[in-house]
Structure 1
Amino acid sequence: MRIKLFLGVLALAVLPSAVLLAQQDLSTHFLRHTWQANRTNPAFFPEYEMVIGLPGVYNSLWVENLTYNTLFVEDGNGNRVLNVDQAILGMEDRNAIRENLDIETLSLGARFGPLGLSISHTFRFNAFMDYPKTLPQLIWQGNAQFIGEEIEFAPDIDVLGYQEFAVGAMVEVSDAVVIGGRAKLLSGAGSINSSRNQLRLRTDSEVYQLTLNADYQVNSASSLTYDGFDDIQTNFDFGTFSAESLFTGNTGFAFDLGAHVKLGKLELAASVLDIGGIDWDEEVNNYSLNGTYEYEGLDFAQRIFDDSTSFGSVLDTLETVYEIEEGSEGFRTTLPTRFYLSATLRLRENWTVGGLIFSESYRGNTYPAAALSSNLQVLPFLNVGGIYSWRNNRFDNLGLNATLKAGPVQLLAATDNILTVFQPKDSNASHLRLGLNLLFAPRESEMKDAGPKWF
């Protein structure tokens, strides 16, 4: 028995965009000797007169309450087969999928005495979906289990891609205090966003009357086309990022602020990132369901509940009952705003430890995290570190990072969850940052800290 309404189909259309490519970048904040740390606090600046950031990537994926081994199980012949019913058993009342991908193309930083200036360009992609367990239950198991009940099944969706052009500055107010800021011009490439999120379905236990109470709207910019229940198309990939579309009619602004205090061997830092959003006014489509929809009749109920009925005929029937309203009104998306509060202590000249409290404000919710870190300058050209964090209500997050420097070239690799490498099929999160920098003209403090130079 199956019922697949508009949002069920939409969920399946959006979900692949989210998982092909959540969030909380913790390791990078402690890598103060790298240019990438500046992305977590604009007051951070490596101890060099000039820095060039070459192409790099940051990616983070989180799929709550779902792993490969819960979705695919072994059959009697030892083959892996899809078992959606088992996966649903492991879900909570609410579940989330989160993906962040940053492709850092080029950046430049330069010091002029106590003043540091920077410019950068980044492709950024963010995908978020928060859905109730009842949504996959309806899609895959049907609504017979909910006869006589009213259930909520609306997903909250936010998928967007944009280009970020940033200009930043930091100032050494004194030997102990540094403040920084960054202004960002945002050029939107595409968005799929749900702005109203209420869908409640009731199936009468006697006459199989369906009642849908709806107040749901999906906004799209250059990403989603709806021409009927059986013709929903998405056009959301990085092919939309091209030199010809550096600037679009969908624009916005955001700001970063940060401070860094040095108290001898103890350093304190605080920052807030991505204060702002994007206004989508170009190639906009709105699709909404609003009101109470009812349908009575045994023939219709049998068509919905009969497994032998083709899905196409069900869609044709649903389209005559549930009217999707279309519009072209512009909308606004707010970026996930992140907060960092940290302390680091230099135990020895080549050894630092630190602690971090992190919070992200997004879609009306707060996502906290906390971390402990340690970094060791093993050799003049090699720095290694580890991080242990609490995030997504889990305590099994162990990360590693390393930087290698050869002459002016600095390579960076970091992950907040190394266990994914060893247990990928049992993990629901992954995290990776890769960076490449050119560092020129070290300051006296950097030369003193690093000791004798091998390169």
Structure 2
Amino acid sequence: MITNPGADVSYKFYFGVPLLSGFSTHVGSSGFSAYDLFADNGVDFNTKLRDVVFSTTNNDKLVVNEQLEILNGGFRVGDWDSPTYISFGMYQEFDAIVYVPKDPAILALDGNQNYIGRSFNLGDLKARAEAVSVLHLGFHKNIKENLIFGARGKIYTSGFNATTTRNSGYIYTIPSNTTMYEQVIYSNLQLQTSGISSYIDGNSQNSDAKSVVKKAFLGPDLGLGLDVGFTYYPKKNIQWTGSILDVGFIGHSKDVKTYNFNGYYEYEGINPDFIDPNNSGSSFSDFQNAISLDTTRTAYRTWRPVKMNASYQYSFNDGRGTADCNCYGNDNNGYQNAVGAQLFMMTSPRSPMMALTAFYQRNIANKLHLKATYTLDSFSYTNIGLGLSGQIGAFNIYLMGDNLLAYRDLAKARSLSFQFGLNFVFKDREED
């Protein structure tokens, strides 16, 4: 229901164990691993850092995501054959993405001596991080016997946000006819923040851990969002699903601060001395006057990263004999096996993030289900995952993990994800 408000559910009602109904976390790096930087192999860290910078591109990224369901539930409206369902809940999410600042990193490591005539792109600086809580209310209905449509409204509360994605500018050094070199810096950089400026400035009066956690779970900035999804059965054993999530925005107006570095600086000579401002003559003060730090307290708006899911599933080995109806919803308990594929896409400050997954699902027993997956994405080409779902009475537990081959040496892993949840699911007697 979280990934598709139009999911096919046959439960009479369900509710999750508070704070344990669903937890997921994902860490991924598309260009390097922790081993590349911190391996105890006798290589100097500066050398390893330089190797990482030169082996990556400005499209490589570090991604961190965490989601915790605080509470959730759902119930059918009407009798056992009613096609209408209501879901509700609240979850907390932290999401961060940082792109490798390729050009600025090379300039910082090597300087400009060997790069005369090269323009270093300051637009490589792109990053975003946010902690939000989400209140949601969903509704779905069987439009036809084999078609289900659902929608979910969301209220976002943001505790922390830092966004620097609208950057441009360049730095270059070229030979000069009058002096030895001409060096130019054009900067159009911006960092927008909400909820953290008091911590950055060091004057927060409420910086204890309790207040930070409270703010992370119920922030002052509000926004609205929408999810839509569907499930379609062209045949009783073939399922198509699709969903679009988090079409929405958050307005940031509390504890906001925007940092701007805008301007144009030109220097003619050998090299401006910014290391020791006291002995740099007028060059450092000229730079500060040309490209100054400007801060504002203006409210701003951010758009949520939109997610899209689409899947195809083919089920076979019907254990119900010649039954004509799909009486088991998305559990597919009547079929012993299923194969399929899922496509995931998410908007990001650069190109969309994508993942394509092939899966095999096996009903080991009536209350025990196993799923194996293979995923292709920008983080790994060897991502094999396993999922297990079991039920004892009304109590349901699920556990999933991705990139299991990387567990042989976690330091070399470029992607890791983990999910689990504890819920109570109540079905009609006809379904037991």
TM-score tier after normalising by the smaller chain length: 0.7 to 0.9
Q: How does 1:71-82 map to 2 (within 5 A)?
A: 71-76=37-42
Equivalent residues of 2:8, 2:231 under 8 A apart:
no
Residue 168 of structure 1 corresponds to which residue in structure 2? 138
Aligned partner (choices 390, 395, 410) of residue 376 of structure 2? 390
Q: Letter of the 1:96 partner, please give it.
A: K
Secondary structure of the structure 1 residue equivalent to 2:144: coil
Residue 410 of structure 2 corresponds to which residue in structure 1? 424
Aligned partner (choices 150, 156, 159) of residue 119 of structure 2? 150
Q: How does 1:172-191 map to 2 (within 5 A)?
A: 172-191=142-161
Q: Letter of the 1:164 partner, please give it.
A: V
User: 2:87 aligned with 1:118, yes or no?
Assistant: yes
Residue 224 of structure 2 corresponds to which residue in structure 1? 253
Equivalent residues of 1:103, 1:122 under 8 A apart:
yes
Question: Could you tell me how far 1:367 is from its partner in structure 2?
Answer: 2.3
Question: Could you tell me how far 1:69 is from its partner in structure 2?
Answer: 2.1
Residue 223 of structure 1 corresponds to which residue in structure 2? 196
Aligned partner (choices 345, 351, 354) of residue 368 of structure 1? 354
What's the CA shift string for 1:373-405, capped at 9, x where partnerless? Answer: 111111233211111111117432211111122
Residue 53 of structure 1 corresponds to which residue in structure 2? 16
Question: Could you tell me how far 1:426 is from its partner in structure 2?
Answer: 1.8
Secondary structure of the structure 1 residue equivalent to 2:7: coil
Question: Could you tell me how far 1:279 is from its partner in structure 2?
Answer: 1.0
Tell me, in whole angstroms, the C-alpha distance in 2 between the residues paired with 1:162 and 1:238. 17
Equivalent residues of 1:48, 1:443 under 8 A apart:
no
Tell me, in whole angstroms, the C-alpha distance in 1 between the residues paired with 2:92 and 2:347. 21
Identity of aligned residues (%): 20
Residue 131 of structure 1 corresponds to which residue in structure 2? 100
Equivalent residues of 2:398, 2:420 under 8 A apart:
yes
Residue 102 of structure 1 corresponds to which residue in structure 2? 67
The alignment's C-alpha RMSD in Å is 3.3
What's the CA shift string for 1:9-33, capped at 9, x where partnerless? Answer: xxxxxxxxxxxxxxxxxxxxxxxxx
- The change in CA–CA distance for 1:142 and 1:84 in structure 2 (over 3 A counts) is same
What's the CA shift string for 1:334-393, capped at 9, x where partnerless? Answer: 111111221111112221111122222233532222111111111233211111111117
- The change in CA–CA distance for 1:261 and 1:237 in structure 2 (over 3 A counts) is farther
Unaligned runs of 5+ in 2: 318-334
Residue 34 of structure 2 corresponds to which residue in structure 1? 68
User: 2:184 aligned with 1:211, yes or no?
Assistant: yes
User: 2:241 aligned with 1:269, yes or no?
Assistant: yes
User: 2:79 aligned with 1:92, yes or no?
Assistant: no
Equivalent residues of 2:12, 2:428 under 8 A apart:
yes
- The change in CA–CA distance for 1:67 and 1:227 in structure 2 (over 3 A counts) is closer
Residue 288 of structure 1 corresponds to which residue in structure 2? 260
Equivalent residues of 2:262, 2:291 under 8 A apart:
no
Question: Could you tell me how far 1:332 is from its partner in structure 2?
Answer: 1.2
Secondary structure of the structure 1 residue equivalent to 2:166: strand
Number of aligned positions between the proteins: 399
Task: Provide the TM-score with structure 1 as the length reference.
Answer: 0.79
Q: How does 1:298-309 map to 2 (within 5 A)?
A: 301-304=272-275
Equivalent residues of 1:45, 1:116 under 8 A apart:
no
Task: Provide the TM-score with structure 2 as the length reference.
Answer: 0.83
Indicate the structure (1 or 2) with the bigger Cα radius of gyration. 2
Tell me, in whole angstroms, the C-alpha distance in 2 between the residues paired with 1:414 and 1:62. 17
- Bigger mean CA deviation after superposition, 161-170 or 204-213: 204-213
- Bigger mean CA deviation after superposition, 96-105 or 235-244: 235-244
Unaligned runs of 5+ in 1: 1-37, 448-455
Question: Could you tell me how far 1:74 is from its partner in structure 2?
Answer: 3.7
